[in-house]
Amino acid sequence: MRRRITGFISKQDGVVTIEWVGIAGIAFLAAVVIAGTLLSGANNLGGAVSGQMDAAADDINGGGS
């Protein structure tokens, strides 16, 4: 088994495959980080808009009581 792995890595095709797997992994992690950042920002924005809408509705209804 070790001989197969060593042979795979020593050939040019094996090295190229390993490089592409690494590049794909980095791209996936970058996408996850970007998506998490965007979702967090969108959630914060939604909360702020909701708070402003509640405050506006309270003002219209005479103080919310």
The answer to whether the beta carbons of residues 28 and 34 sit under 8 Å apart is no
Q: Over the stretch 4-48, which tens digit does the pLDDT of each residue have? A: 777 766 677 777 888 899 999 999 999 999 999 999 999 999 999
Measured between alpha carbons, how far is 3 from 12 in angstroms, rounded to an integer?
16
Q: How many residues does the chain have?
A: 65
Q: Using DSSP, state whether 64 is helix, strand or coil.
A: coil
Where does residue 62 fall: left (phi above 0), alpha (psi -120 to 50 degrees), or beta otherwise?
A: left
The alpha helices in the chain, defined as continuous H runs, are 2-10, 12-60
Q: What is the mean pLDDT of residues 48-52?
A: 95
Q: What predicted TM-score, i.e. pTM, was given to this entire model?
A: 0.56
